[in-house]
Amino acid sequence: MISDVNSVSISEGEEDKEDVIVSVEGLVHKYGDFTAVDGVSFTVRRGEVFSLLGPNGAGKTTAINALIGLLKPTSGEIYLDGINVIKNPEKVKGSIGIVFQETILDREMTVWESMEFHGKLYKIPKEERHEKIWELLELVELSEKVDEITRRLSGGMKRRLEIARALMTEPTILFLDEPTLGLDPQGRVLIWEQIRKVNERGTTMFLTTHYMEEADRLADRVFIMDHGKILISGTPERLKDKLGKDVIFLYLAEKERAREVLEGFDFINEIVEFDKGLEIVLNGSGVPLAPRIMETLDSLKPKLAVDGVNIKRPSLDDVFLYFTGRKIRETDIS
C-alpha cells in the first residue's frame, strides 16, 4: 500500500466558480465521541452526476443530512446555490429535492395522492401541479399506476415514485441517498436509466452509494469516502487509470515452471498464485501483453499447457481496495 496517496484529487483543472453548485469546506460532524464526518471538502459542479462512494458507516448519510440542512454540523462551511446552508437551512428547502435512503411513502395513499400531497406541501398551484404530476409520472414510467396504492408497488416503482415526487419542486439539485439499496438487478437498471434521464433534463445529481458499479456507470465524478474522510476523487476512468494495472489470470497446472519463466519479463510487476493458476499483475494494458505471455509459454519445451486466460481491467472495487486497504464491507449491508 502506498501511503502518500491519501486524499488525492485527480483534478481536471481549476473549478470555474460559476459552475459550482455546492461547495463544502472542512465539514466535521461528531456524534458524541464518534466522528462521523472528519474534515471533508469538495465541490459539486452544476449539471453533473456527483457520487459519494463508500461502505455503510463511512459518513455519507451524515454528509447529505448536513448538506440539505437537516443537521447542523460540528464545524465547516456549506454553500448550496449561493446559500449558506448552516446559517439559513430554511432557505435551501426550495432549491433541493431529496430521496432518502429509507422509503418514505404513505402506504395507504395512491401514487397520485402521494404526488398531490407533496405538491400541496410546496404550495404549487393546482393546474401547474397536476400538469407536473402527469409529466413526471410519465418520465419515471408510472403513469399507468396513478391509482395504485403505494403499498402494492414494487421496490423499484416506489423508488421511481420518490424520484418523481422529489422533482415536483423543480430542484436545481437532487440528492439521492443509496437509491438502489435492496433492489433487484432489473429494478436497479431502471433506476439508473431514470437518474440519467433526470440529469439530462439539467438537474444536478448528488448520489451516495456503496455499489461500485452504480458509481462507475452513473457518476461524472466519484469521491471515495471511508471513516468520515474523502480518500480520493476523480472521474471513474481516471481513478481506474491511476491504478493503471491490468491483471491476467492464467489457468494452468504447472504453476512453478510458468512462474520461473515469466519472472524475467519487465512488464510484469507481480505474480501471485491462486488455486487454479497464476494471477499476473502487469504495469500496462493486458491486451497486447497477453499474447506475448501465451507465445512464450507455448514455445517452451516441453510445452506448457494453459487451460484458460482472463484479462481483468481494474474496477472501482480495485480502486477502493487500493486506497482503503480492504474490500467494501458487503457484510454490513442490511
- Applying CB under 8 A, among 8, 10, 105, 311 the residue interacting with another protein is 105
Q: Is 108 in the site for another protein (CB under 8 A)?
A: yes
DSSP letters spanning 28-66: EEEETTEEEEEEEEEEEETT-EEEEE--TTSSHHHHHHH
Q: Is 126 in the site for another protein (CB under 8 A)?
A: no
239: its cell numbers: 481513478
Q: Is 107 in the site for another protein (CB under 8 A)?
A: yes
Q: Is 117 in the site for another protein (CB under 8 A)?
A: yes
CB of 117 to another protein, least distance (A): 5
Q: Reduced to 3 states, what is the DSSP secondary structure of residue 271?
A: strand
Q: Is 106 in the site for another protein (CB under 8 A)?
A: yes
Measured from the CB atom, is 123 or 301 closer to another protein?
Answer: 123
160: its cell numbers: 421511481
Q: Is 130 in the site for another protein (CB under 8 A)?
A: no
Q: What is the distance, to the nearest Å, from the Cα of residue 159 to the centroid of all Cα atoms in its chain? A: 17
Q: Is 113 in the site for another protein (CB under 8 A)?
A: yes
CB of 32 to another protein, least distance (A): 15
C-alpha to C-alpha distance for 163 and 103, rounded to whole angstroms: 11
Q: Reduced to 3 states, what is the DSSP secondary structure of residue 280?
A: strand
Where does this chain touch another protein (CB under 8 A) — which range of 21-29, 90-98, 223-231, 303-311? 90-98
Q: Is 71 in the site for another protein (CB under 8 A)?
A: yes
Measured from the CB atom, is 177 or 216 closer to another protein?
Answer: 177
Q: Is 167 in the site for another protein (CB under 8 A)?
A: no
Q: Is 104 in the site for another protein (CB under 8 A)?
A: yes
- Applying CB under 8 A, among 40, 98, 258, 328 the residue interacting with another protein is 98
C-alpha to C-alpha distance for 164 and 169, rounded to whole angstroms: 10
**Measured between alpha carbons, how far apart are the two ends of the chain, in Å?**
29
- Applying CB under 8 A, among 123, 201, 301, 303 the residue interacting with another protein is 123
Q: Is 109 in the site for another protein (CB under 8 A)?
A: yes
Q: Is 295 in the site for another protein (CB under 8 A)?
A: no
Where does this chain touch another protein (CB under 8 A) — which range of 95-103, 152-160, 198-206, 247-255? 95-103
Scanning residues 49 to 68, which ones bind another protein (CB under 8 A)? 65, 68
C-alpha to C-alpha distance for 139 and 164, rounded to whole angstroms: 8
What are the backbone angles phi and psi of residue 121, rounded to the nearest 5°?
-60, -35
C-alpha to C-alpha distance for 93 and 169, rounded to whole angstroms: 10
Strands in 34-45's sheet, in edge-to-edge order, are 34-45, 20-31, 75-80, 83-84
Cβ-Cβ contacts under 8 Å for 247 (sequence gap 6 or more): 279, 280, 281, 282, 286, 311, 312, 314
316: its cell numbers: 472501482
Scanning residues 254 to 273, which ones bind another protein (CB under 8 A)? none
CB of 59 to another protein, least distance (A): 14
Q: Is 211 in the site for another protein (CB under 8 A)?
A: no
Q: Is 100 in the site for another protein (CB under 8 A)?
A: yes
Catalog residues that contact another protein under the rule CB under 8 A: 65, 68, 70-71, 93-94, 98, 100, 102-109, 113, 117-118, 120-123
